[in-house]
Amino acid sequence: MKLIQYDRHAKRRMKDRKVNQEEVELSIKNPDFLKQSIKGRINAFKFINERYLRVTFKEVLDHFFIITVTVRKKPFGGQYENRIQ
């Protein structure tokens, strides 16, 4: 797998939301689903440890650049309705 580089903003969000690097890596390696975002970004969605993670990142030539990490107790916009049971 490519190396992972974290934006300072993403590191702060991970600390605030108690998300570790293993959870972020798992979200990118094996997402429940991916969705294109603005400016060439990708959102990786993953249900892990009783919560829903959204990892926003860009794929650069030799690494992944993590932009932000968001956590919710409920699915993001109902997108998990038919995917997680």
Give the start-to-end residue ranges of the domains of the chain. Answer: 3-72
Per-residue CA distances from 30 to 8, 39, 72 (Å) = 24, 23, 18
Q: Which stretches does DSSP call E strand in the chain?
A: 3-6, 33-36, 42-48, 51-59, 63-72
The C-alpha atoms of residue 20 and residue 23 are separated, in whole angstroms, by 6
* Per-residue confidence band for 20, with pLDDT thresholds at 50, 70 and 90: very high
Rounded to 5°, the CA angle 74-47-53 comes to 75
For residue 77, the 8-state DSSP code is T
Residue 24 has pLDDT above 60, yes or no: yes
Mean pLDDT, the chain, rounded, equals: 90
Of the two residues 67 and 76, the one the predictor is more confident about is 67
* Per-residue confidence band for 78, with pLDDT thresholds at 50, 70 and 90: low
Of the two residues 85 and 47, the one the predictor is more confident about is 47
CATH code, residues 3-72:
3.30.2310
Residue 39 has pLDDT above 60, yes or no: yes
The verdict on pTM exceeding 0.95 is: no
Q: Which two tokens stand for residue 22?
A: 């293993």
